Amino acid sequence: MESSSQGSIVSATGTAVGSSSASGTPSAHYAGTNRLIVGNPTFDRVQVLAHAELPSGLANVDTVEELRAAMADIGPPAEREIQAYRGRSPPFLGDIPTRNEMGPPPLSPTSECEGRYGVPRTSTLYLSESTDGVRRELLRSGDQIWIQRFVIPTAAVRLADLRGTEHSIQPLLNSVLWFTELSGEQGQPPLAFSQFFARLMAERFDGVLLPGVRGDADLQYWNLVLFRAQAEWRHWLADEEPWHL
């Protein structure tokens, strides 16, 4: 569920679409996820990391290790189960998809990273909080969108909950999320950075809950990214068959 149109960055000096620099300004706000960051040395260090050639040639190994340490403090979701939705567009084996076609992409030994939080040689399952979230993630598909509901018991997977605001998330993580949410946009870090972040998360967790990047003043939503879902996803399918929006 990936598209390329995102929200704008609103700072003390106005709106700068596609600009991620907050150094020297009191703060900056990204409307897509309602994230607020402050220009400070922590943000500046992360900015250097985000624009480095990843995963090799890291110029700031200390920041990476500090990030790993911050990840150790991320808590799980409070919910006993997570209900979320997968969206897919044709082609399918037939005119109407079956539940067995609504899982992650097939895994192959040479699987490339897919999407903002793809991890090499894994089959990442992207889910969204609501059908509205799915619709926003697939805005540019141009095809009919089919929906499948999933129910994931949180006791069965190790999930990190990063849905909080800048007040509840460690400052280093907040700055990293700022750049992962902007990765792939013109003038921003490449998707390799958000995928590098996902690879670090996958060292410790099976998945992560985090804000969807297509939000606005009318709707904020979250997504669930599951890094190793290939063997388990059928157990999480809800009873109903897929339906279309």
| Confidence (pLDDT) at 209 | 98
Return phi, psi of residue 119, to 5°.
-120, 135
**Predicted TM-score (pTM) above 0.85:** yes
* Residue numbers in the chain where pLDDT is lower than 70: 1-26, 54-60, 108-113, 140-142, 166-167
DSSP 85-133: EEEE-S--SSSS--GGGSSPPPP-TTPPP-STT--TTS-PEEEESSHHH
Any idea what the Cα angle at residue 185 is, between residues 54 and 22, rounded to 5°?
Answer: 85
Distance separating alpha carbons of residues 200 and 64, to the nearest angstrom: 9
Return phi, psi of residue 66, to 5°.
-65, -35
Closest Cα partner for 132 from 208, 209, 214? 214
What is the residue extent of each domain of the chain?
Answer: 1-245
| Confidence (pLDDT) at 100 | 94
| Confidence (pLDDT) at 123 | 84
Residues 242, 94 contacting (CB under 8 angstroms): no
| Confidence (pLDDT) at 18 | 39
Return phi, psi of residue 149, to 5°.
-90, 140
206: helix, strand or coil: coil
Residue with token string 């996803």: 233
What dihedral do alpha carbons 95, 131, 143, 163 form, nearest 10°? -130
Distance separating alpha carbons of residues 152 and 182, to the nearest angstrom: 28
Distance separating alpha carbons of residues 121 and 107, to the nearest angstrom: 7
| Confidence (pLDDT) at 109 | 61
Residues 245, 97 contacting (CB under 8 angstroms): no
* Pairing mode of beta strands 207-211, 159-161: parallel
If one counts every other C-beta atom within 10 angstroms of the C-beta of residue 64, the result is: 16
| Confidence (pLDDT) at 106 | 79
Sequence-ordered list of residues with C-beta below 8 angstroms from that of 214, at least 6 positions apart, any chain: 3, 5, 6, 7, 32, 133, 136, 137, 139
